[in-house]
Amino acid sequence: MLRLQGRARPNWQEIVESQGLGFHRNVPQGQHGRPYWDESVHYSFALAEVEDLEGVVEELHQMCLAVVEHVITTKRFADFGIPEWLHAPITASWKRRDPHLFGRFDLCYEGKTHPKLLEYNADTPTSLVESAVIQWEWMTAVHPDADQWNSLHERLIDRWKQIDPGPLHLAYTATEESGEDALNVAYMAETATQAGLATQVLTMEEIGWETGLQAFVDSQHRTLGALYKLYPWEWVIADQFAGGAIEAQSSGTPWVEPLWKMLLSNKALLALLWELNPDHPNLLPAYLDGPRDLISYVSKPLLGREGASVRIVTPAGVTENAGDYGTEGYVFQEFWPLPEFDGWRPVLGAWVVGDQAAGLGIRETAGLITDNTSSFVPHLIVG
């Protein structure tokens, strides 16, 4: 694994925008003023490294599914802060095996030691377009003889064919102002369309509750069946019509991601993974009742996003990001610093589609906490 310097194409902004990446202009830049998409550098991997990462991702995925089974069997919902009225619906969703689509494992890796799981984005992962499309197009234009760990597009199409939910609505929230969520949903709609599904994109705010039908409808009063939502379940269950959303899951056309994914999009997962797989080489010690004997640790809110409300405690001091998360509780995970390449720290976002490893996206930051000022950089497989 190497970080290599290059030269950005003179008209790179126009190129990536023509490929769909328009929101990059609206992403806040860090203290170094880097653009969100930065093709002036890239990472190079040996094929053996990628093959190892693929195996790690698929093993982690199976371990996560085993956690869901454990929580359902032992009724450990309280560890996740999930209210009692949701226990039975989540259990039913799991027992039906409501279909899951994809997720992104965030890994710490430098090409030498075992990759370490930092967290799992299992419900509403983003950076999909950059991972699936933009870096692939960059490779074919700039490094046409190289390869890339990137089968996201094809695997998403195949997975939609397997799920086969019928007519599909896809929704994002209009409150997300950068345009990132809208782009991710539009791309997901493209993959579903290529899989042969009839699709309709809308915002969550356009979805209404039809009292007479006792059903959700879109802005044209069409009943919602299958719904792909870039909108986390913890927000859904806080809505006025949460009961209707939960009831809709038993209709035969459940929403994607399924309700049982609440157990994987919650960072309590990290503690249960460690409890059930102690000393696993790809896991870090993590606990729900405090840092225990950890000398250096990270406290992460169970439902936090983009590094908000994260606190790193080491003998050298404390580093923290402000945020509004944390009332739901925290997990305490051993601090495993990101590797440093030329003053920058990469997080590897390794994708899984269905049950298969599907690709890689890399975000860099100068600090210890990866947040919404990080930059996305492409990668290659060489040799």
Task: Give pLDDT tens digits for 51-95.
Answer: 999 999 999 999 999 999 999 999 999 999 999 999 999 999 999
Residues 306, 371 contacting (CB under 8 angstroms):
yes
Give φ, ψ of 311 to 5 degrees.
-135, 125
Secondary structure class of 137 (helix, strand, coil): helix
pTM above 0.85, yes or no: yes
Tell me what pLDDT residue 371 has.
80
Cα–Cα dist 246/151, whole Å? 33
- pLDDT of 31 over the 80 cut: no
H/E stretch holding 376 reads: strand 375-377
* 3-class DSSP state of 80: helix
DSSP characters for 175-242?
T--SSHHHHHHHHHHHHHHHTT--EEEEEGGG-EEETTTTEEE-TT-PBP-EEEEES-HHHHTTSTTH
Running DSSP on this structure, what letter comes out for residue 23? G
Angle at 194 between CA 258 and CA 250, to 5 degrees: 25
Residue 58, φ and ψ in degrees, nearest 5: -70, -35
pLDDT single digits (tens) 122-168: 999 999 999 999 999 999 999 999 999 999 999 999 999 999 999 99
Q: Assign 23 a pLDDT band (cuts: 50, 70, 90).
A: confident
Distance from C-alpha of 25 to C-alpha of 310, rounded to nearest angstrom: 26
Token couple for 221: 């009063």
Do 377 and 362 touch, CB atoms closer than 8 A? yes
Region 164-175: mean pLDDT is 95
Question: Residue 32 has what pLDDT?
Answer: 65
Task: Give the residue-averaged pLDDT of 189-196.
Answer: 98
DSSP calls for 243-267: HHHHHHTTSSS--BS-GGGGGTSST
What's the CA gap between 114 and 136, in Å, rounded?
Answer: 26
Given a contact cutoff of 8 angstroms between Cβ atoms, the answer to whether 20 and 186 are in contact is yes
Percent of the chain with pLDDT over 70: 98
Which pLDDT belongs to residue 326? 79
Average pLDDT over residues 175-189: 94
Q: Determine contact, residues 298/330, Cβ cutoff 8 Å.
A: no
Count H helices and E strands in the chain, helices first.
Answer: 10, 18
Range picked from 147-151, 245-249, 363-367 for highest mean pLDDT: 147-151
pLDDT in tens, 279-323: 999 999 999 999 999 999 999 999 988 888 899 999 999 998 888
Domain boundaries, the chain: 2-266+339-381, 285-334
**pLDDT at residue number 88:** 97
